[in-house]
Structure 1
Amino acid sequence: MHSIMIICPDNSLLKESEKWLSRYGFQVNMGNSLEQIEKYYELSEFDLLLIDQEIINDLSGGATELPNTPRRIVLDAKPSLSTGTHSMSLGTAYYLPLPTDPETLLKHVVNTLEHREVSEQISTQTPTLFANTDTTEEALPLGTPGSAIIGQCPPMLDLFIDIKKIAATDATTLIRGESGTGKELVAKAIHNASLRKHNQIVSINCAAIPENLIESELFGHEKGAFTGATTAHDGLIKTADKGTLFLDEIGELPLEAQARLLRVLQEGEVRRVGATEYKKVSIRLIAATHRDLFDMVRQGLFREDLYYRLYVMELLLPPLRERGDDISMIAKVILEKTCQKHGKPAYHYNRTFDKAIRSHHWPGNVRELENAIERAVILSPIDKIEAANLKLADQQKHTSTANSTFEQNTLQLQGTTLDDYLKHFVLTHQHKMTETQLAHSLGISRKSLWERRQKLLIPKKVTE
C-alpha cells in the first residue's frame, strides 16, 4: 500500500483529496505545516507528498527545497508560469492548479508513484527481475478511469475489496451478474492480482462452442478419437496449466463435460477424449453465469456436486442501472476511447448527452452502453456529440414491437402454454432452420433448446 502525505492549510481545496485517495487504497496522512509534520513523521518514509504551494511560500527564508523527501506534487491556487518552472527545477514531479479534478490528480499520483518504483527497480534489481513490471493499466487502482474496471459506487468499492482478498488465494470463484456487466474483466482482475499472474489466463465462453466440440476443446482429444481428429490435441484446460481458467456462461456446459470438469477440480488431473491416462494440471478456476445455477440443479440441468465445488467464493456484479454516478464516469471514458478509435476529435461530454444516458434502463449494461456511444460518435457532426444519435428511443421502440409480435404469435395458439408454443415453433420451422437459428429465434441458447427437446420429447428433423 502506497503512503501519501498531504500538506496544506486548513482552508485549502487540497484537503478534499484525502477521502477519495483513501477509498482508492492509499494510506493518507495530513498536516497543515511542515514544522508540525516533521515533529511526528519522517518525511522520507512516505512514497509521495502532495503540497499546497502556500505551504512552500510560508517557509522561513523563502526556502522551497524540502529536505529528505520522496517525490512530490505541488498544487497552487494561484498558478503562474514562473512559480511552476521554479518548482519543477527543484525536483517537483508535477505542478498543478487548484482546484484539480480527482481524475487528473489521480492520474498524476499514479504516474509519479510508478516512475519512482521503476527507478528503484533499475537501481536495486537485476535486469531479469523488472521484465515482469506491471503495465500502467494493471498498476492503476481498480475503479479508476485508467484501469480495466471503472466505478466508485459502494457496491463496486466492496467488490474491489473482495477481489483483492480472493486474489490472494487459489479459491474457486463464481461470478454472477447480468450479461454485459463485466464478468470477464473481474476474472482478469483477480488473475492479475494473484500469484498466477505471470502465467496466462484462458477465457472460454461455454455458450459459443458447439455442443459436440466442447469436450474436445476443453479437455483435448487423442488422434482418431472421433471423425476429423487427425492429430492429438491438448485442450484449453491443459493450456491454462499453472494459470487461471475462466469459464464464462458455465450454465451452458453439457452434463457430460460437467462431470469431466468436476474431476479436474477434485483430483487436479485431466484426461483427453479417447485417452486412458490422466495428466496432472494446476489451474485456478473462475466461472461466471447470468443464470440461477441452484435452480438448474433442482431441475436436473446442472450437477449438484459441481455446483458446490464452484460455490466456494461468490462475487455479485451490480447492473449498470444501479450504479449511480458510475454511469457518467464510464460513459466519459468510453466516449474518449471511441473518438480515438474512429479518428474523431474528442467530443465534449455535455449535459444533454449525460441526461439521455442516465435516463435509460440499460438492460444490456456496459456492453449496450459501448454500442450506443459508438453509434453516437459515428452519426454525430464533428462539432458536437448529439444525444439523439444514441438511438435509445428507437431501440426501446424496436424491443416493444418485437415483444408485441411475440405476444401476438403466442396468442394465435389460444389456450396453450409457452412449452406448447415452443414445441409448435420448433416442429414448424426445424426443416428449414439450423439448431442455432431456432435457438436464436426463440431467444434461448442451443443448450436450452436441447434441454427443452429432451423435456418435451420434441423429435429432431429426419436427415437423409
Structure 2
Amino acid sequence: MMICSEQSPLKELERSLTRNGFHLNHSTSLEQAQKYYELTDFDLILLDNASSELSPLELRQHIGSTSFLILDQRPSLTSAVEYMANGARYYLPLPTDGHTLLEQVVNAIDQNERTTASLTTTPHNTSEDIQLFSQLKGQGARLGSPESGIIGESPVMQEMFRELEKVACTNATVLIHGESGTGKELVAKALHNLSSRKNNALISVNCAAIPENLIESELFGHEKGAFTGAVSARDGLIFAADKGTLFLDEIGELPLEAQARLLRVLQEGEIRRVGAVTSTKVDIRLVTATHRDLRHMVAQGLFREDLYYRLYVMELVLPPLRERGDDISIIAQTLLVKACQKHSKPIPNYSKRFDQAIRSHSWPGNVRELENAIERAVILSPDHKLDPDNLKLARLTQKTPMDSTPATEATSHPNTGNALDDYFVQYVLAHQNKLTETQLAQSLGISRKNLWERRQKLGIPRKVTN
C-alpha cells in the first residue's frame, strides 16, 4: 500500500516498484486507505507523512500491526526518532531514488517473513532494522544524522560541523578539544570518512591506555632485540596508518620522549623503529584529541612547545552536552531505542517527566554518562514505562568545568564520601610528584589506564612537576 498525494515524490517511484514485481494499491490519504481497504491485508505500507496529520503514536495506533515505512519531504532527526520509537520499520528522506526504496522494501518484507509474532505498539526491531536516514549513492552521511556517528542539531554543533567539513577535505593536522565523553573519537572518524583517505586505514590510539614503557614501541615499532621481550621486529601503529589517518586520543598523556619522536614524524614524514638506525617514510594525516589545556601543560614543562604548535593547525571544539540544548533530548531518545533493542525490551513512551530529569542534570560525563544512565533506566523500569528515578543520577551541586579542578578541591569531589575513594585521592596526591604514572599505578595494584580513568572520575589533577 502506497499512501501519498499525486504530487508526492513517492508517487514517482511507483513504477520502479511495480517493475520489480510488487503489486501496489494507492491512496491519497490514510483516511481514504482505511475507508476502502483493510490495512492488515497488506505486507507493507509506504507513507509520505505529509499525507497524514497524525502524530507518530497516533499513526501507529491507526495502522495497527502492519509494518510501515515513513518517507519525509522535510526529514529531521527528531521526527526520525519519534517514528522509529513508534514502530516505523525505516525512515527515509524524500526525494529518494528507486534503488534505495526498493532495497528497504525488500528488507522490510524479509523481516516480516522472519518475524514469529506480529508487531504491537512497541515493536521488536533488530539493530539492522534501524536506518534513520538512508545514505544515497554518491552522497556522504549528513553530519548530525545517526549514519555520520554524531547526533547534533543545536547551533553550536552545526557550527562545529561546518568547520569539520571545511577541514576534512584537507590534509591539515587537527586538534579536537572537549570534555571526556563528548565524542571526540566520533569527530575523528567523521574527519577520516569525509577525507580523500577514507579508503585507507584509520588507526585510533588512546595514549593513556598504553604503559609508558611500551608506548614508543606501540607507536613507532621496534627492531628485534631492541629491549627485553622484543623477540622479533614489529611495525608500529603509525606505519599501519600509512596513506590513512592516525588518531591519537588523550595526546596530553603522551610521554615527553614519545612527543619528540612524534614531532619528527610531522616534520620529516618518517619514522624510526625503536632500536633501528634507519628511517622509513610514512604519509599520514594526524588527528589528536584532548580534554586538557595543552598550553598550560607547555607552561609547566609537561608538553613540548614545538609539538604543540605542530598539532595546533586546526582546532575543533566539542561543546559539553549541557550546552547543547535540545540535542540532549534527541540523543536520549536515540539511546533509548538502542538500549531497548540491546536488552530485548519494548520501547516505552519518552515522557515529559523523564525528559525533565534528563534536561536538569549537568552531565559531567557527557554522552557516555547519558548512555549509561539510559541503559540503567531501561533495565530497572517496568515494560512500557520509564521511571526517572531509575536513571540513578548523582546530584552534583555545580557544573565542573573542563580540566579545572585544583589540587585543593580534589578531596571535596562528591564521590569522596566513599572511604576507598578518599584513600585513593589522598594516596595519589601524596605520591604523584615522586613516582611516574606507571610506578604509581603499580603501587596501587592497577593498570595505568585504570589510574587515568580514576583520575577522570574523581577529578584528581595531574602532577605539576617531574
Q: 1:112 aligns with which of 96, 119, 140?
A: 96
Matched residue SS, 1:331: helix
The separation in 1 between residues aligned to 2:28 and 2:98, in whole angstroms, is: 23
Give, in angstroms, the shift of residue 377 of structure 1.
Answer: 1.1
Q: TM-score, normalised by structure 2?
A: 0.67
Cα pair 2:182 2:319 within 8 Å, conserved: yes
- What aligned pairs does 1:333-372 form with structure 2 within 5 A after superposition? 333-372=334-373
Change (3 A) 1:257 1:393: closer
The separation in 2 between residues aligned to 1:185 and 1:114, in whole angstroms, is: 31
Per-residue Cα deviation, 1:340-366 (whole angstroms, up to 9, x for no partner)? 111111222112211111110100000
The answer for the alignment partner of 2:206 in structure 1 is 205
The separation in 2 between residues aligned to 1:439 and 1:345, in whole angstroms, is: 38
The separation in 2 between residues aligned to 1:407 and 1:273, in whole angstroms, is: 38
- AA in 2 matched with 1:108: L
Any unmatched runs of 5+ in structure 1?
1-50, 57-63, 86-91, 120-133, 456-464
The answer for the alignment partner of 1:280 in structure 2 is 281
- Confirm or deny that 1:433 pairs with 2:386: no
Change (3 A) 1:404 1:434: closer
The separation in 1 between residues aligned to 2:233 and 2:418, in whole angstroms, is: 50
Change (3 A) 1:375 1:110: farther
Higher RCO (Cα < 8 Å, 6 or more apart):
2
The answer for the alignment partner of 1:328 in structure 2 is 329
The answer for the alignment partner of 2:416 in structure 1 is 402
Any unmatched runs of 5+ in structure 2?
18-25, 38-44, 57-75, 84-89, 104-132, 399-411
The separation in 2 between residues aligned to 1:282 and 1:83, in whole angstroms, is: 65
Give, in angstroms, the shift of residue 421 of structure 1.
Answer: 8.2
Identity %: 53
The separation in 2 between residues aligned to 1:280 and 1:367, in whole angstroms, is: 38
The answer for the alignment partner of 2:33 in structure 1 is 81
Matched residue SS, 1:180: coil
The separation in 1 between residues aligned to 2:194 and 2:453, in whole angstroms, is: 41
The answer for the alignment partner of 2:5 in structure 1 is 53
The answer for the alignment partner of 1:227 in structure 2 is 228
Change (3 A) 1:266 1:354: same
Change (3 A) 1:419 1:343: closer
The separation in 2 between residues aligned to 1:372 and 1:315, in whole angstroms, is: 27
The answer for the alignment partner of 1:98 in structure 2 is 52
The separation in 2 between residues aligned to 1:141 and 1:225, in whole angstroms, is: 47
Matched residue SS, 1:107: strand
- What aligned pairs does 1:110-259 form with structure 2 within 5 A after superposition? 112-113=96-97, 115=99, 136=135, 139-259=140-260
Change (3 A) 1:362 1:141: same
The separation in 2 between residues aligned to 1:269 and 1:424, in whole angstroms, is: 35
Cα pair 1:176 1:316 within 8 Å, conserved: yes
Matched residue SS, 2:48: strand
Give, in angstroms, the shift of residue 408 of structure 1.
Answer: 8.3
Give, in angstroms, the shift of residue 400 of structure 1.
Answer: 2.3
Change (3 A) 1:255 1:419: same
The separation in 2 between residues aligned to 1:114 and 1:205, in whole angstroms, is: 43
Change (3 A) 1:204 1:432: closer
Give, in angstroms, the shift of residue 424 of structure 1.
Answer: 10
Matched residue SS, 2:187: helix
Change (3 A) 1:440 1:175: closer
The answer for the alignment partner of 1:375 in structure 2 is 376
The separation in 2 between residues aligned to 1:276 and 1:259, in whole angstroms, is: 16
The answer for the alignment partner of 1:294 in structure 2 is 295
The separation in 2 between residues aligned to 1:326 and 1:223, in whole angstroms, is: 51
Q: TM-score, normalised by structure 1?
A: 0.68
Give, in angstroms, the shift of residue 443 of structure 1.
Answer: 2.5
Change (3 A) 1:348 1:424: same
CA root-mean-square deviation: 4.4
Matched residue SS, 2:264: helix
**Pair member with larger Rg:** 1
Matched residue SS, 1:53: coil
Change (3 A) 1:250 1:94: same
Give, in angstroms, the shift of residue 312 of structure 1.
Answer: 0.5
Give, in angstroms, the shift of residue 118 of structure 1.
Answer: 10
The separation in 2 between residues aligned to 1:300 and 1:164, in whole angstroms, is: 34
Cα pair 1:439 1:449 within 8 Å, conserved: no
The answer for the alignment partner of 2:40 in structure 1 is none
The separation in 2 between residues aligned to 1:255 and 1:363, in whole angstroms, is: 29
Change (3 A) 1:228 1:168: same
Per-residue Cα deviation, 1:200-255 (whole angstroms, up to 9, x for no partner)? 10000000000000000000000000000001110000000000000000000001
- AA in 2 matched with 1:112: T
- AA in 2 matched with 1:109: P
